[in-house]
Amino acid sequence: MTIVPAPQAPEYLQKLFDPGFLIFIRHGQTDWNAESRMQGQKDIPLNANGESQATNNGALLKGYLEKEGIDPDTLDFVSSPLGRTRATMERVRAEMGLVPDTYRLEDQLKEITFGKWEGFTLEELAVNYPFLVEQRRAD
C-alpha cells in the first residue's frame, strides 16, 4: 500500500477534481507477475499470494484510516475493470468490513498494453525477437 500526498493541481484542474489525498493499492500478484511476464491488459487472475496480499492491504488500509479518523464511507473507491484489480479491490473492501462490490470502475486505470509482447518475458523476447528488444532499448 502506498500513500501519496496529492500534488497541488493547477487552478483549472482544481475546478474539476481535487482529491486532497490519494491512496493507491496495486493489484495483488498473478502467476504472470511471478514469472516476470508482460501482462498488460491480458486479464490474468490473482494467484494465492496475490489474494493474500490484497487481504493484507485491506487490513493495513483499515488500520490507517482508523488511526487518521477517516471514515471509509466518505471515500471514493475506484478500480480498473480488469479482473485482477477488481478481485484486489473486493478483497480490500471485504477486509475493511465494507460491501465488497460497491466501487467505481474506471477504464483509464487499465494497465498499458504490450500488444504482441503480452505473455512473454523479456528473456523470451530477446531470444525470439532480438531486433525488437534492441529497438525498445534505443527508444
Catalytically active residues are 27, 111
Cell of 72: 471509509
Residue 81 is which amino acid?
A: P
| 93, 62 contact by CB (below 8 A) | no
**Could you say which DSSP state residue 90 is in?**
H
Q: Strand ranges (DSSP E) for 51-98?
A: 78-79
CA 40, CA 42: separation in Å to the nearest integer?
A: 6
Residue count of the chain, please give it: 139
